[in-house]
Structure 1
Amino acid sequence: MTSHKKSPEQHSWYEDIFAMLLGLSLISFGVVMYLETQVFTGGMAGFSLLLQYATGWEFSTIFFIANLPFYILAFLRMGLLFTFKTFLIVTLISVFSKILPIWVQFSELDPLFASVFGGLLIGSGILFLFRHRAGVGGMSIFAQFLQDKNLVNAGYFMLGFDVLVLVSGFFVLPWESVLISIAGAVATNLVIAVNHRPGRYTGMSIEKHVLGR
């Protein structure tokens, strides 16, 4: 007998919308927990959080502006639909992270719990976006562009950027907060590493959705 491997089904538009809303909601809530306890993570989100702590500028504004230069690269490499989804998600994360504190206040929130649990939420949100052909913008698009030009390995570049962001935290926050933040960054990456399998969903490889965190 000849066995036929079933091709993964493409998601419908309403499945994409629901997953994107769920993903960006999880990421936004994780960010709000980080803002409440002054911890941060790697990637562009971590850079934006750290810059807020250092300057007092709002995360939502920094995150939105910091991602703007990368949309051109996203369009050139990933196409119009991915770029539109990513722009929409970045914009809504910026908005949600600003308005969620109006609806949710914490009377007490342990920083280590916030870092790890918030990291799990962010990782889960990114995973939802991965599976629906979307990302959260950021430096990973630039990393993939550099790899395409044979200038650097994208994975090593992203690891280096994450390390740079986390180490920079020692110049802004107490060392205890930085160590707690590292625990949250590990939690985020564990969620993605354990649950994301290239080609499992809609026949896509990891290179077809870049993580911008």
Structure 2
Amino acid sequence: MNQFTVHPVARHTPIEDFLALLIGSLMVSFGVLLVRQVGALTGGTAGLAFLTHYASQVSFGTAFFVINLPFYYLAIRRMGWPFTLKTFCAVALVSVFSDLHAHFIHIDQLQPLYAVLLGNLIMGLGFIVLFRHNASLGGINILALFLQERFGIRVGKLQMSMDVMVLLASLYVVSVPLLLASITGAVVLNLIIAMNHRPHRYAA
């Protein structure tokens, strides 16, 4: 007789998914606020949205929402409709919340490295919440998964390469110290995801 009883996996209810999308999106968008406050950026689709925001008058929320639009076709093909719809909702919420936070909180003094590290840490935790409820923030992550399936390119290597290109492109809009801080923050974000998002250890 086994010492431990194995229970069937309890799936998330719709209300749990709704709350997870809300909480995860709030966390990611607040991390965006901290990073944006000091003029830094991060990798991935959010990094592209930061670049667009800094180089133009377009808000981060608008840029983030629009940049993600072409990737939903790949999401439907690669992940199916439930994942795509949740991801669309999460992207929309982050886009709205990231622009709304400034109306409710204003930080007068913030040390750049601290802001970037804390912001990416909070974003990483928000990503984990979304991932564990079968959602993401779309963009480059979906493209990486699609290319791995289609051409056998490893997701980790491809995503890291894309992050490096986004961060190098930021040299045109941010200073070298902020670039170094941004790279450190992106590493922290990826480490949090790598340590905590392991599908074979979590199923719900």
For normalisation by structure 2, the TM-score amounts to 0.94
Question: How far is 1:52 from its partner?
Answer: 1.1
Per-residue CA distance 1:56-109 (angstroms, 9 max, x = gap): 321111111100011111111111111111001101111111111000101111
Distance 1:196 1:144 in 2: 15
Question: How far is 1:173 from its partner?
Answer: 0.9
- Residue in 2 aligned with 1:69? 70
Distance 1:129 1:187 in 2: 18
- Residue in 1 aligned with 2:96? 95
- Residue in 1 aligned with 2:157? 156
Structure 1 residue ranges without an equivalent (≥5)? 204-213
Q: Percent identity?
A: 42
5 Å matches for 1:1-213? 1-2=1-2, 5-202=6-203
**Counterpart residue identity of residue 116, structure 1:** L
Distance 1:54 1:176 in 2: 18
Distance 1:74 1:55 in 2: 28
On the 8 A contact 1:8/1:200 being kept in 2, the answer is no
Question: How far is 1:4 from its partner?
Answer: 5.7
SS in 2 for 1:118: helix
On the 8 A contact 1:8/1:201 being kept in 2, the answer is no
Distance 2:118 2:73 in 1: 33
Distance 2:28 2:72 in 1: 20
Distance 2:6 2:152 in 1: 37
**Counterpart residue identity of residue 30, structure 1:** G
Alignment RMSD, CA only? 1.4
Moved more, 113-122 or 145-154: 145-154
Question: How far is 1:172 from its partner?
Answer: 1.7
**Counterpart residue identity of residue 102, structure 1:** H
Distance 1:40 1:83 in 2: 26
Question: How far is 1:151 from its partner?
Answer: 4.9
For normalisation by structure 1, the TM-score amounts to 0.90
| Aligned length in residues | 203
SS in 1 for 2:21: helix
Structure 2 residue ranges without an equivalent (≥5)? none
**Counterpart residue identity of residue 153, structure 1:** R
Distance 1:189 1:8 in 2: 27
**Counterpart residue identity of residue 136, structure 1:** L
Distance 2:32 2:44 in 1: 13
Question: How far is 1:18 from its partner?
Answer: 1.3
Distance 2:187 2:155 in 1: 19
Per-residue CA distance 1:151-206 (angstroms, 9 max, x = gap): 52222111110010111122221101101111211121121122222222226xxx
SS in 2 for 1:149: helix
Question: How far is 1:12 from its partner?
Answer: 1.2
SS in 1 for 2:199: coil
Moved over 3 A (4+): 2-7
Distance 2:187 2:61 in 1: 23
